[in-house]
């Protein structure tokens, strides 16, 4: 099945800093999503981005499908950005998730 790798696994930043999270996948895909898991466990949709670039406020994402990677950018981080960020791709085995990036934003 598809392999999904996320980096870095952990990231600690000061409030106001920018960050880049990476997602590599092993096969061509027609669906890539980024999620933020809140403290209660719910996966919050950030981007549905099979290819190209999208922006939503301080967050943006880019997927280069031909090179099998996607990047999530967070600018001017706030403490509320803390949590685990997952990317997931659709394949024969449902959505395959990476292990996530655990982001901590310190005040």
Selected binder of other proteins within 86, 101, 103, 105 (CB under 8 A):
86
Selected binder of other proteins within 35, 72, 77, 105 (CB under 8 A):
35
Residue 93 touching other proteins (CB under 8 A): yes
Q: Which residues are bridge partners to 21 per DSSP?
A: 72
Helices and strands in the chain, H and E counts: 0, 11
Selected binder of other proteins within 3, 31, 79, 106 (CB under 8 A):
31
∠ CA 60-48-44 to the nearest 5 degrees? 85
- Please state, in angstroms and rounded to a whole number, the distance separating the CA atoms of residues 107 and 102: 16
Coil/strand/helix, residue 23? strand
Selected binder of other proteins within 13, 43, 59, 71 (CB under 8 A):
43
Site for other proteins in 45-74 (CB under 8 A): 45, 48, 50
- Please state, in angstroms and rounded to a whole number, the distance separating the CA atoms of residues 103 and 81: 8
Tell me which residues touch other proteins (CB under 8 A). 29-31, 33, 35, 40-43, 45, 48, 50, 86, 88, 90, 92-97, 99-100
């Amino acid at each position: 099945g598809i392999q999904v790798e996320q980096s870095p696994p952990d990231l600690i930043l000061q409030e106001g800093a920018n960050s880049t999270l990476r997602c590599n996948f092993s096969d061509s895909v027609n669906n890539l999503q980024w999620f933020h898991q809140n403290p209660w466990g719910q996966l919050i949709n950030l981007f549905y981005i099979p290819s190209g670039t999208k922006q939503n406020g301080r967050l943006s994402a880019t997927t280069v499908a031909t090179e099998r990677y996607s990047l999530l950018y967070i600018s001017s981080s706030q403490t509320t950005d803390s949590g685990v960020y997952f990317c997931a791709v659709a394949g024969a085995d449902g959505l395959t998730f990476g292990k996530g990036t655990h982001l901590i934003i310190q005040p």
